[in-house]
A and B are shown apart, each in its own frame.
Chain A
Amino acid sequence: MALIHHFAFQGMQMLLVLVLAPLLTGFVRKVKARLLRRRGPPLLQPYRDLARLLRKDVVLADNASWLFRVIPYLIFAATWVAASLVPTFRSGLLFSWTADLIALIALLGSARFFLALAGMDAGTGFGGIGSSREMMIASLAEPAMMMIVFAVALIAGSTQLSTMAAFMNSAEVGLRVSLGLGLIALVIVAIAENARIPVDNPATHLELTMVHEAMVLEYSGRHLALIELATFLKLLLYVSLIACLFAPWGLTAATAEPLLIATGLASYVVKLVVGGFLLAVFETAIAKMRVFRVPQFLGAALMLALLATLLRFVSRSF
């Protein structure tokens, strides 16, 4: 019976992230539009886009290889698995120990590896430019992320997300300098990883500064739908990750109590709304950077995270 519960919660989590991800993106788009005094697309527009793309034929370039057709599924799978492993409404899920935070980041790294390869497959200038820049951004964002993991893991004494969330929820954690630095760095990395303004513009095409959109330029139909869905999932993942590490309130431990689960779900939705709103405000308030300013932006995250880790190595109380 207990095992069935565990499976049920794990399955619920997987479906939940899948269902909520487009909604979060739709919400961010809507808030951004309202901040610009536009009416904006309806909240459910991302679902309609996905449904429309799924029904359409795929138009493949003449010289696209088998890898190009497989990659959307792989990207979607890696991102979905990663997103299902971040505690959202309830920690200690059945498979939560499958991958710790380091493995989770590496899973996203796998997705990025494939996406960059897809950009190179057709042999176009735009695809190459996107892949090349994506890998440059990743080469700074990934070490920064790893340093953030180090800082937080050293405080919580674990790289297991459920344990970390439980520790962050306890009174032991207190206010720490290294946590503050880690939070700032994590936000910067999340912005870069999700290709948001000021690093990349998710709403652009035909612009020489684009990164993510340049890689997926040759995709169409269901392949594009899967990549879009993976992008939505990634945004949800990062918001959930920040919430799980830095605002774990309402996150219930291993329990099947319906009331606690309901609280967990409600608080999760509130966190998503707040996170999405803050992201929209931030994106509206700031201008897009030149590509070669991005390394400085991410370098700041790397340095902050390194500082946070060093503080942890030097003293237990920071």
Chain B
Amino acid sequence: MVIPALLAVAALLALAPIALLLSRSPFGRPVAYGASLALALVLAAAAAASLFGHHDSAITLPLGLPWLGAHFRIDALSAFFLIVVNVGAAAASLFAIGYGRHEEHPQRVLPFYPAYLAAMNLVLLSADAFSFLVSWEFMSLSSWALVISHHHIRENMRAGYVYLLMASFGTLALLFAFGLLAGPGGDYAFDAMRAAHPSAGLAALILVLALVGAGSKAGLVPLHAWLPLAHPAAPSHVSALMSGVMTKVAVYGFIRIVFDLAGPPVWWWSMPVLVVGAITAAMGVLYALMQRDLKRVLAYSTIENIGIVFVALGLALAFKASGMALAAALAMTAALLHVLNHSLFKTLLFCGAGAVLSSTGERDLEKLGGLIHRMPKTAFVVLVGCMAISALPPLNGFVSEWLTFQAILLSPQLPSWGLKLLIPAAGALLALSAALAAACFVRVYGIAFLGRPRSDAARDAHETDGISVVAMAILAAACLILGILPGFAIDALAPVAQLLAGGRMPTQLGVEWLSIVPIAESRSSYNGLLVFVFMTASAMIAAFAIHRLASDRIRRGAIWDCGFPDASPLRQYSADGFAQPIRRVFGSLVFQARELGEMPRPGSTAPARFTAIVRDPIWDTLYAPISGLVAFAAERLNVLQFLTIRRYLSLVFAALVLLLLVLAAWP
């Protein structure tokens, strides 16, 4: 199946220059996005055939390094991630057929879009370090081009700059990781790396480099700083891909290196992964709660979800190292299922944000409101997305969260003390971030879609086009189906878990009533289908009985509001106001949040002022010093720019002599 996949990727690459031509005509754009959609579906089908047919396929092409060639391979792991990427890409392309109409400069988006899709697919298909890194860098660059496609906005240029820096840094870390994996022999094919087990010290270094390299792309705290800048800057369907899909490619890179290539794990490997994952989850959602920009909230929530995935991956590492194959398979399945779930609802939510943006021109939550009346269809599908991401049953986000909690409950059997103390703390942070995520999305939905419009733009909003709605509705339906029938997904993931964790969960499809039973029914089970059926049935029965037997009359009246309604929509609760209690409870610790109130003296007609100050601890303690240092060094080295030619020549000569001396002194 690798050959059709590669052909589809080649077609995507060929589409890129054609799309430049197509972008000139308004009829060409839907064609370009439609072709991307078709190719993404082909790729997804090829991957599905490989995953469900349980067969790997590989090919070596005479490209790239002459002595290496370009290895491509589809195994269970890459097949699963190919499905995730291409389902997300197909949905985003379908959305873009409608949404792309609002694009002002299509020639800056269209050619890079298929190239970006091709790059992500190539990363997943590559089976040697060289083609992996080249595709990885290609993915970074093509997404960078999309981030700065609206480059007339200053903020976007800055976002693109930070993104480019962090992406290069991450690739550098991955380059070293692969270099260490290849060893002194320098065989860069994944098969050779898999066969050669690195020594314990080297393996530890590889773990750290993989965590830094893949983690910076995925948005792990503290390497996340670029993500909330870059993801919202791109056009919305690209934001959806970056958040929903590209972060998953980064997760793939981490899994590939740590679970597949680096050899058998040691128990303490899981500790940095768990710590970073748990902190990322909690910090990500706290940041999200403090934001006013709709797309930035979603970007920070991506960071939170990546944290959840890494906690589950850390658990899988711990179980695998301790020889608990069943538990490792459970944790791995939870991580992979959350990857799939997050790609679905985050793509949906970013598309929803795009629909809001194209309809109102606003991303600021404080200027939205009441959109449920003007955009009822978008409001409905976004509500499904918000429920799914808040991990509410019977939707899909809850299933992966529930599986993660079940994995945590197996961890007292782990032998090491460090993990016994760490895992409950990670579990508490996970529960905290789940609760805060619900608060975050009540805030987003309540402010943007409910209430009264806070600006003229929100009042004059209109429903988005039909194709966009269909794309979002498909994603929402997928969220519901995965939530009520998770057994199918868990069974489909079994070969991947087998490959990575060395064990598999019990088959779920044979279980009565289609419930899921990770270990044994007396221990734990969950049935999303019955929960859904029971909830629907009870709500229907209640509605029917009450309307039939009691009353079904409705009168409309003015807002009650305890008798003091206020006509001004600005007197509603604001997004900042909604977050205020949480800012006071958590923010004072994490963000050094302070509130300054300034009341005018009695009799004065000056307005009262209120300022909330929130500092970003990671930016302040990590990024600001580094960028300060770079700026300082650059300032000092500035004199070197204005030397005469003689001085330059003598500098070159001095450098040459120094290098030769070093070489001579080298043992």
Q: Which residues of A contact B (CB under 8 A)?
A: 54-63, 65-67, 73-74, 76-78, 80-81, 95, 97-100, 102-103, 106-107, 109-110, 112-113, 116-117, 119-129, 131-133, 135-136, 138-143, 146-147, 150, 153-154, 157-160, 163, 205-206, 217-218, 221-222, 225-226, 291-292, 295, 302, 306, 309-310, 312-314
Contact = CB atoms under 8 A, between A and B. Distances in A.
A68 B130 CA distance: 56
A154 B446 CA distance: 37
Contacts of B538: 76-77, 80-81
15 contacts: A57-B551, A65-B450, A98-B527, A103-B531, A107-B393, A109-B392, A116-B446, A121-B450, A124-B561, A125-B572, A135-B578, A138-B439, A146-B431, A221-B551, A306-B425
State the majority secondary structure of interface residues on A.
helix
B633 interface: no
Contacts of A153: 409
B582 interface: yes
Contacts of A81: 531, 534-535, 538
B524 A100 contact: yes
B208 interface: no
State the majority secondary structure of interface residues on B.
helix
Contacts of A225: 546
A98 B423 contact: no
Interface in B577-618: 577-582, 584-586
Contacts, number: 283
A28 B602 CA distance: 47
Contacts of B572: 123-125, 128
Contacts of A159: 406, 409, 523-524
A117 B445 contact: yes
Using C-beta atoms within 8 Å of the partner chain, give the interface range for chain B. Answer: 35 or more
A119 to B, nearest CB: 8
Contact of A314 (B372, B420, B534, B565): B420
A226 B542 contact: yes
B154 interface: no
A126 B425 CA distance: 36
A81 B558 CA distance: 34
Given A113-B387, A136-B439, A160 B524 contact: yes
A310 B582 contact: no
Closest 3 CB pairs of A and B: A128-B573, A120-B446, A123-B451
B133 to A, nearest CB: 40
B245 to A, nearest CB: 27
B387 A143 contact: no
Interface in B353-383: 369-370, 372-373, 376, 379, 383
B553 interface: yes
B72 interface: no
Contact of B436 (A119, A139, A160, A222): A139
A99 B527 contact: yes
Contact of A106 (B373, B398, B525, B551): B398
B278 to A, nearest CB: 12
B559 A63 contact: yes
Given A60-B557, A77-B539, A112-B438, 14 more contacts: A61-B557, A65-B450, A67-B450, A76-B539, A107-B531, A113-B438, A116-B442, A117-B442, A138-B439, A154-B412, A222-B546, A306-B424, A309-B428, A313-B423
